[in-house]
Structure 1
Amino acid sequence: MLGNFSYCNPTKLYFGKKSLNYLNDELSKYGKNVVLIYGGGSIKKNGIYDAVTALLKKNNKTVAEISGVMPNPTVAKLHEGIEIARAHKADLLLAVGGGSVCDYSKAVSVSVHCEEEPWEKYFVRFEEPSCEIVPVGCVLTMVGTGSEMNAGSVITNTETHQKIAHVFADEKIMPRFTILNPEYTFTLPKYQMVSGIYDIFNHICEQYFSDEDDNTSDYISEGLMRSVIHSSRIAVQNPLDYEARSNLMWTATWALNTLIDKGKHTDWMVHMLGQAVGGYTDATHGMTLSAVSLPYYRHILPYAIPKFKRFAVNVWNINAEGKATEQVAQEGLSAMEDWMREIGVVLHLAELGVTEDMLESIADVTLILKGGYHVPNRAEIIEILKESL
């Protein structure tokens, strides 16, 4: 395991069917002014809103609300939230929802006391906050992003069609605590569930497909990927299977809390492609990833045949006996494609509304990152997008 690194993750997790009870313990640590942040209102239908607000009332909190946080939170919505949090003099931002709500809450947290334009400061110049940060807590209702235990935030600029992620360096931006009750994910539509499942899997892939040394992080990643595959098959057949949904929730958290990127350069180009597509289509995040993944990985496979062979054997149980290394590697991606079809994710950008005349513009807003086995140029980006159609 090569490289030097530090690791600190201060987020406290409460997991299980009774985990919301621990919100009492956490609320006592913060001032009276809480901003409750949530999405389109599903939490009011499934009872989670009532349960959370009852605890806020029990703890004598003064509550303001930011509702209607969309799956791809926008700059305009960010400004709206900043004004509400400022007016309320927020002591705590409580995110109740999926990854987009958690992402959005972190963007609000670093912007409330910042006088600069947050989009320019954090998502264009990628600067770190130089002001007071309002603490964030999360009650998770959808799994996939891992935002409940990291310092990442993703915001979309609808004017420029840019969807940009900023993973902040300051650990104070990570949620101070997260409530993880797998039962809260039961009411998700199947489309959203499988989108989250693929998001989990791809987070692991982005960290796994880099470097050539013998790294403990890769062994952990392989175990996490096998867990996702196994539990996804059960959950697709029976969405109310608590064990499968609990394993997916726990794996999602560990897939992107920075543990498995230790000692790694990482390759986030699938996310760069998917986010560029999202900026133009407002499509569900996990489905933008699933649509571009296989063309991208087939494109870089020739530069990392040994790693793709390892992926095939250790994750997909491909029998390598008597086969050429590249054949085994290709069979691994074929097995991955079969699984993606089995669980029902999107495999073509056309299903998300992308047309060929959009590809140049999507390529223009695709950030090209280093760290993987091959750094694509713009022409290669366009070719990958064409193959994804």
Structure 2
Amino acid sequence: MLGNFSYCNPTKLYFGEDSLDNLNIELPKYGKNVILIYGGGSIKKNGIYDEVVEILKKNGKNVAEISGVMPNPTVDKLYEGIETARNHNADFLLAVGGGSVCDYAKAVSVSVNCKEDPWEKYYIRFEEPDCETLPVGCVLTMVGTGSEMNAGSVITNHKTKQKIGHVFADENIMPKFAVLNPKYTLTLPHYQMVSGIYDIFNHICEQYFSGEDDNTSDYISEGLMRSVIYSSRIANKDPQNYEARSNIMWTATWALNTLVSRGKSTDWMVHMLGQSVGAYTDATHGMTLAAVSLPYYRHILPYGLQKFKRFAVNVWDVDPSGKTDEQVAEEGLQAMENWMNELGLVMNISQLGATEDMIEGIADGTLIMPGGYKVLEHDEIVEILKESLR
């Protein structure tokens, strides 16, 4: 482990079939005025909404709602939520849904008492809050983002065709608690399930494919990736398998709660590429990542050859006997591609609505991140995106 780092994660997790009962422990810690935040209404169909509202009433909360939070929350929706929270004199934000709902709640949290435009302050200038923020709690119904245990928030601006994530430095922005009941994920459509699974896997990859030292975080990442692969294959055949879905849910949290990034540089270029594609297509996040991953990894493989070889051997059980390092590394990526096809992931951005004439705009909107094995030039981004079309 090279360098110096700190680690703090204050989010308290409640996991399991009875985990929602713990709202009765957490809610009394916060003020009376609560904003209940959720998405398109699926929680009303599956009964989770009624369960949560009953507990809120039991705890004497005065509840207002922000509904209709979309899979890629927009800045216009953020402005709407800020107004609702201000009018309600909100003391606490309770997000019930997937990662987008949790992301959105954090964006509202840092914006309610902010005197500036939150889009400009947090997503263009990447500044930190200098105002009082609201506490957030999460009841998770879809896994993938890890938003339930981190300080990240992604917002989309359709007018400027930008989709930008801000990982806030202050751990106070992290949810105070998160409720993780794997049963809540069992009603997800297959498309959403596998999209979330790939989001988990790629979060780990983004932190794994960097650095050359012997780092404990990489060993943890390899174990998490093997767990995702194993459980995903079970869930793909039997989506109602509780054990597989519970393992996937738990791995999703540990994939992006900052643990496996400690002592490392990190490479977030797949996310930068995928988010820019999403800004143009409004496609499901995990699918945008899947569509650009292999062209990107094959592009940077020569610069991080030893890590790609290790990935092939330790994650995909590739036998290196009698093969060159390049052959082993490429065989690992082929194994990854086979698994992605097995799950039914989208493998090119044209399937998501991207076209040749969008490529330059998508490339212009792609933030270039340092930390990986190759800092990309604009022309390389264009090349990767063109390869991702096919």
TM-score, normalising length from structure 1?
1.00
Letter in 1 for 2:73: P
Distance 2:90 2:388 in 1: 44
Matches within 5 A, 1:206-355: 206-355=206-355
Distance 2:235 2:88 in 1: 41
Which string of whole-angstrom CA distances, capped at 9 and with x for unpartnered residues, describes residues 250-285 of structure 1? 000000000000011100000000000000000000
Percent of pairs with identical residues = 78
2:37 matched to which residue of 1? 37
Matches within 5 A, 1:1-389: 1-389=1-389
Distance 1:378 1:305 in 2: 22
The DSSP-based 3-state class of the residue aligned with 2:332 is helix
Which string of whole-angstrom CA distances, capped at 9 and with x for unpartnered residues, describes residues 63-99 of structure 1? 0000000000001000000000011111110000000
Letter in 1 for 2:263: G
What is the RMSD of the two structures over their aligned residues, measured on CA atoms?
A: 0.3
Which string of whole-angstrom CA distances, capped at 9 and with x for unpartnered residues, describes residues 319-361 of structure 1? 0011111100000000000000000110011100111111001
Letter in 2 for 1:227: S
Letter in 2 for 1:195: S
The DSSP-based 3-state class of the residue aligned with 1:133 is coil
Offset at 1:115? Answer: 0.8
The DSSP-based 3-state class of the residue aligned with 1:178 is strand
Offset at 1:292? Answer: 0.1
Q: Runs of 4 or more off by more than 6 Å in structure 1?
A: none
Offset at 1:224? Answer: 0.1
Distance 1:23 1:146 in 2: 20
The DSSP-based 3-state class of the residue aligned with 1:179 is strand
Letter in 2 for 1:187: T
Distance 2:57 2:68 in 1: 22
Offset at 1:366? Answer: 0.4
Distance 1:299 1:216 in 2: 26
The DSSP-based 3-state class of the residue aligned with 1:197 is helix
Distance 1:291 1:75 in 2: 25
The DSSP-based 3-state class of the residue aligned with 2:29 is coil
Distance 1:146 1:368 in 2: 23
The DSSP-based 3-state class of the residue aligned with 2:111 is coil
Letter in 2 for 1:63: V
Which string of whole-angstrom CA distances, capped at 9 and with x for unpartnered residues, describes residues 157-203 of structure 1? 11000000000001110000000000000010000000000000000
Please, which runs of 5 or more residues in structure 1 have no aligned partner? none
Number of aligned residue pairs: 389
The DSSP-based 3-state class of the residue aligned with 1:304 is helix
Letter in 2 for 1:170: D
Offset at 1:133? Answer: 0.6
The DSSP-based 3-state class of the residue aligned with 1:277 is helix
Which string of whole-angstrom CA distances, capped at 9 and with x for unpartnered residues, describes residues 123-175 of structure 1? 00000000001000000000000000000000001100000000000111000
Letter in 1 for 2:299: H
Distance 2:108 2:204 in 1: 27
Distance 1:345 1:89 in 2: 43
Distance 1:388 1:66 in 2: 36
Letter in 2 for 1:262: R
Letter in 2 for 1:100: S
TM-score, normalising length from structure 2?
1.00
Distance 1:305 1:192 in 2: 32
Distance 2:75 2:308 in 1: 38
Distance 2:322 2:155 in 1: 49
Distance 1:129 1:65 in 2: 24
